[in-house]
Structure 1
Amino acid sequence: MPLEAIVFDLDGVLIDSEPVWEEVRRGYVASRGGRWLPDTQQRLMGMSTVEWAAYIATDLVDGVTAEEVAYTVIDQMSERYQGGPPLLPGAEDAVRRLAAHRPLGLASSSPRALIDLVLGRLGVEGLFRATVSTEEVDAGKPAPDGYLTVAAQLEVRAEDCVAIEDSSNGLRSAHAAGMTVVAIPREAHPPSDDALALAAHVAKDLDELTPELLGGL
């Protein structure tokens, strides 16, 4: 199949934001006397804003609404990013290198406000022809909705796209959409073996992503 477009995830692929998300959400739960469970961070990865806010309000904290959770957490995340998002090594170069080769899309579990803030701060917002937040589709990752929407906005078939992902839910989402998946696992939150097995290629870092590599998949 011809490679028609390349679709990035954001958190854990372009920015090292998962530790920030965990710190902010864990802090929020603790400040309300809630319960942070051993599997909470893994469960939250890939959820849309509606999904993770509802999970925190229902399972971890008493006496708050999902809307209150989302507003407070996103506001705190925006404050943390104001000094510059935690860019991963090689992120900007990888985006610019691949944008010169094929149209780029982005499918992220971050809310729209944070997507726009991060891409603007990096100065690469104009290089993405389509960006989708899972809060803008029916279901977050591991459902394929976000990736399918990006492909539709790019006017290409999902099967003709390569997706760059790091998490278990992200890998499952892109694969369920029919995309060829490249995994860049994060040591702090490695994907499960069964999710990693869905990847056509496992890269050690963003510098490994070249037009030749992706075109050969």
Structure 2
Amino acid sequence: MFQAAIFDMDGLLIDSEPFWRTAEKEVFGSLGIEVTEELSIKTSRMTTREVTAHWFSHKPWAQKSLEDVEQTVIQKVGELIGNNGVMMPGSIALLHYFKQSGYKIGLATNSPQCLIPIVLRKLQIEHCFDITVSSDFVDKGKPSPDIYIKAASELSTPPSRCIVFEDSARGIQAALAAGMSVVAVPEKGNFHDSRFNIADIKIRQLSDFCDQHIALLIKKQNNLVKL
């Protein structure tokens, strides 16, 4: 029944969330903005453009354009990923599982397009993906469904035949709104957060996913069980 698997990137395939926090603290801090850990977490699932606009509205600066600041953050994150990026547990095994099972594989991320090849090269998983989609090429990033609708289109696969893996509540909302089945993989401290209960299935890490989960998703689609 399912024909494609689509993966989020940051926090799901690569442990990059700390890099974004570091880059934002450094770049926005140079503009006189104190980015606390708490505030950084609140903006962590926004696109880079949204984050830049958020901080500008919080405390406008005159030294640089919003675009220049955004690009400085992205460049810093790219450097950190290239030097220190680490794959999340189970990523490569699950990608190979779907590849060997004949699935099309896509990546859909709120991150800028320029960071995708940096991540895939660092993790040595470029060969695993049939398509990659960035929020750079849709009107709205997650939680809008735009990015997942575009990914399904590029995979030539109906949304109902796609399984999405997400570690954020915004991403889960986006995939569900696109009409896809969703597997939530919350970061360790958020596993029991009720925001993730809207997903079809919730697992602790990618390596936990198996044939039984696919069977459960199929049953749910057929309205035979309620997960």
TM-score (norm 2): 0.86
1:196 Cα deviation after fit? 0.9
Partner of 2:138: 137
C-alpha contact (below 8 Å) 1:45/1:167 kept by paired residues: no
Match of 2:112 in 1: 111
Contact 1:48 1:139 in 2 (8 A): no
Return the index of the structure with the highest Cα Rg: 2
SS at match of 2:147: helix
What is the match of residue 82 of structure 1?
82
Kept after mapping to 1: 8 A contact 2:6/2:165: yes
Identity percentage of aligned residues = 32
Deviation at 1:50, TM superposition (A): 2.5
Are residues 1:36 and 2:40 paired? no
What letter matches 2:205 in structure 1?
Answer: D
Which aligned runs of 4 or more in structure 1 are off by greater than 4 angstroms? 188-192
Q: How does 1:46-61 map to 2 (within 5 A)?
A: 46-61=45-60
User: More deviation in 20-29 or 140-149?
Assistant: 20-29
Contact 1:36–1:60, Cα closer than 8 Å, also in 2: no
Q: How many residues align?
A: 215
Amino acid at match of 2:123: L
How far the C-alpha of 1:61 sits from its partner, in A, is 4.9
Taking structure 1 as the reference length, the TM-score comes to: 0.90
63-72 vs 152-161, greater mean Cα deviation: 63-72
Once the two structures are superposed, residues 71-110 of structure 1 have per-residue CA deviations (whole angstroms, 9 ceiling, x without a partner) of: 1111111111222422112212221222222111111111
1:162 equivalent in structure 2: 163
Structure 1: 5+ residue stretches without partners: none
The equivalent residue for 2:223 is none
Q: Matches of residues 1-217 of structure 1 in structure 2 within 5 Å?
A: 2-36=1-35, 40-63=39-62, 64-101=64-101, 102-188=103-189, 192-193=193-194, 195-217=195-217
Rate the CA distance shift 1:177–1:43 in 2: closer, same or farther, 3 A.
farther
Change beyond 3 A, Cα 1:128–1:62: same
SS in structure 1 opposite 2:49?
helix
On the 8 A contact 1:167/1:189 being kept in 2, the answer is: no
The structure-2 alpha-carbon separation of the partners of 1:192 and 1:59, relative to structure 1 and needing over 3 Å to count, comes to: farther
Residue by residue over 1:100-158, the C-alpha shift from the partner in whole angstroms, topping out at 9 and shown as x without a partner, is 22111111111111111111222221221111011211001111111110000001111
Higher relative contact order (Cα pairs below 8 Å, separated by 6+ residues): 1
- Runs of 5+ in structure 2 lacking a partner? 218-227
Return the offset for 1:28. 1.8
Distance in 2, Cα, partners of 1:67 & 1:210: 43
